[in-house]
Amino acid sequence: MQEIERKFLVTSLAGISEAYAEAKIAQGYLNRNPERTVRVRIKNDKGYLTIKGKSDATGTTRFEWEKEIQLHEAEALLLLCEKGVIEKTRYAIQKGTHVFELDVFEGANKGLVVAEIELTTADENFEKPSWLGEEVTHDERYYNAYLSEKPFTEW
């Protein structure tokens, strides 16, 4: 139920040529508060409801609960969400024993590309590809809930 994730800006789209999976994602928020984020997501043809708690003191570990829900339920719940649905394409890229999830944002967040890596411990080592830029794990502006309210093109 705890996830450790680190997030980085991406300086080029070169990594996409190595991606082994790709998914279209649309997501909205029933609550954007980082202490109790409630997210509705459609990923390709599946729906998900995800609830996240606030980060711990290190900013890398967050309580997370997720359930798959029916597509038509996700579509109905998306209509209840705050204005500002996030649209992005997610690419999975294997690097050594780790997987980077590279999110290429569209719509109001077009131009933003970030990569996330899930780790077992906060200080775990991992291979850093050449396209990996500045770490933004601790920068709340890059939370998707924040991007839904204050999109990248309006910064």
d(CA 98, CA 95): 5
Give me the catalytic one of 20, 29, 91, 143. Answer: 29
> Cα–Cα distance between 67 and 95 in angstroms, integer?
28
- Three-state SS at 137: coil
Query: 143 catalytic, yes or no?
Result: no
Q: How far is the CB of 148 from its own copies (least distance, A)?
A: 13
Stretch that binds its own copies, among 63-71, 93-101, 125-133, 138-146 (CB under 8 A): 63-71
- CB-based burial, 16-27: b 16+ in 10 Å, e otherwise: beebeeeeebbb
CB 100 within 8 A of CB 21: no
Q: Which is nearer to its own copies, 19 or 49 (CB)?
A: 49
User: What residues numbered 65-94 form the site for its own copies, per CB under 8 A?
Assistant: 65, 67, 69, 73, 76-77, 79-82
Footprint on this chain of its own copies (rule: CB under 8 A): 1, 30-31, 35-36, 38, 49, 51, 53, 63, 65, 67, 69, 73, 76-77, 79-82
